[in-house]
Amino acid sequence: MTEANYRGRFAPTPSGEMHVGNARTALIAWLDARSRGGTFVLRMEDIDGPRCKPHFYDLILEDLRWLGIDWDEGPDVGGPYGPYVQSLRLADYDEALKRLEARGLLYPCYCSRAELLAVASAPHGLASEGPAYPGTCRHLTDEERRERERKKSPSLRFRLPDRAVAFEDGAAGPQRFAPGAGGDFVVRRADGIVSYQLAVVVDDAAMAITDVVRGADLLDSTPRQLFLFEALGLNAPRYAHVPLLCGPDGKRLAKRHGALSIRALRERGVRPEQVVGAIAAVSGLHDRPEPIAARELIAGFRLEKVPKEPVVVDEAWIAGLTGG
Ligand code: GLU
């Protein structure tokens, strides 16, 4: 199948070393783009300055190349929709904030972290975030705002429309989120940093992304992003959220499960084909747990082959990969 208009992307945050779990998401997003004859974009999501380090940024590019994943547009190769680095796109986010502001969709929020934690008994928010924002600052009078402004600089929240959101997810199937799920969310933090939700929407639209393939941990961000696309008058892409790789304890694969950063594996002398083969075998993309080059998986790839449930890997799988 060839879809020349398909534009997919991988959008890592350079706040740590790339892990087997992120590598798997990158591989699946890349295979989806390549198997459909589309364009693959790499975008560096380094907007949260203090957490992101140039060292990780370089390492991610190196690790991806080592794995055999390439991109048609990206920070190092450029392209028609650049720059492909969020810290260089701040003016676009400001412009989007102004448009939302002009439509009366934002309001300043003065709640402190402690105040927000104190509402922990409030109705559930998004799985990824804990309690929903209860709307404390939604209805402040101008006078109350002036009063609070003296003590604290505010974050800006987006007023969530009081409507349910439904969409068809290419991996997770039909999705429906109740009205107000997660509550009004932050689009600009009190320290001035624009939120992931806003930046990702502005960039996916500006880079003409048609298909987002990413980890299931971001599934419940999608309704927020769909509301932002709508409020900004932008076209939303199709989404497919692939279940995560979990360690033997059933929790998302992480550092505690061993030396599973791609850098650590490379340093141990593990070959990229071994990593790709191990990932592919537990992801329904390769019928034997044998080494294989990423490009050899393109012809047989279909997103439907990826399991719908989180994939739990055992100690033997980890040991096989790390040689430990
Ligand atoms: N930068 C995000 C992350 O690394 C991913 C964003 C996305 O794929 O929408 O978790």
Tell me the domain boundaries of the chain: 7-86+243-322, 89-196
**Which two tokens mark 16?**
């740590």
Q: At 40, is the secondary structure helix, strand, or coil?
A: strand
What is the structure's pLDDT at 127? 63
Closest CA to 312 of 219, 233, 248: 248
Kind of pairing between the strands at 39-42 and 7-10:
parallel
Number of other CB atoms surrounding residue 4 within 10 Å: 9
Would you state the pLDDT for residue 24?
Answer: 96
Q: Known catalytic residues?
A: 255
Best residue among 200, 222, 225, 229 to mutate for probing ligand 1's pocket (most ligand atoms within 8 Å of CB) is 200
In 3D space, the residue among 211, 268, 270 whose CA is nearest the CA of residue 236 turns out to be 211
Q: What is the pLDDT of residue 4?
A: 77
Per the DSSP assignment, residues forming a β-bridge with 167 are 175
Angle ∠(224,226,230) on CA atoms, nearest 5? 120
**Among candidates 8, 197, 232, 219, which has minimal Cα distance to 86?**
197
What is the 317 CA–ligand 1 centroid distance (Å)? 26
- CB crowding 163-178: b at 16 or more within 10 Å, else e: eebebebbbbeebebe
Q: What tokens appear for 258 in the block?
A: 């061993």
CA of 46 to the centre of ligand 1 (A): 10
Q: What pLDDT score does 50 carry?
A: 84
Cα 87 from chain centroid (whole Å): 16
Angle in degrees, CA 70, 76, 79, rounded to 5: 85
Task: Show pLDDT as tens, one digit a residue, over the chain (324 residues).
Answer: 567 799 999 999 999 999 999 999 999 999 999 999 999 999 999 999 888 998 999 999 999 999 999 999 999 999 999 999 999 999 999 999 999 999 999 999 999 877 777 665 444 456 666 678 889 999 999 999 999 999 999 999 999 999 999 999 999 999 999 998 889 999 999 999 999 999 999 999 999 999 999 999 999 999 999 999 999 999 999 999 999 999 888 888 876 666 689 999 999 999 999 999 999 999 999 988 899 999 999 999 999 999 998 899 988 898 888 876
Q: What is the pLDDT of residue 122?
A: 47
Which H, E and C letters describe 94-128, residue by residue? HHHHHHHHHCCCEEEECCCHHHHHHCCCCCECCCC
CA-to-CA distance for 52 and 38, rounded, in angstroms? 29
Whole-number CA gyration radius for the chain: 21
pTM, entire model: 0.94
Domain topology for 7-86+243-322: Rossmann fold (3.40.50)
d(CA 222, CA 201): 10
Tell me how far apart the alpha carbons of residues 237 and 7 are, in angstroms, rounded to a whole number. Answer: 9
Amino acid at position 152, single letter: K
CATH assignment of 89-196? 3.90.800.10
In one-letter notation, the amino acid at residue 312 is: V
Is residue 41 in contact with ligand 1, taking CB distance under 6 Å?
no
Distance in Å, CA 13 to ligand 1 centroid: 6
Helix axes 272-282, 20-35, angle to 10 degrees: 80
Q: Which atom of ligand 1 is nearest to the CA of 221?
A: 9
- Residue to probe by mutation, ligand 1, list 15, 85, 218, most atoms within 8 Å of CB: 218
Q: Is 321 in the pocket of ligand 1 (CB under 6 A)?
A: no
Residue 251 DSSP SS3: coil
Q: Which residue has the tokens 């083969």?
A: 277
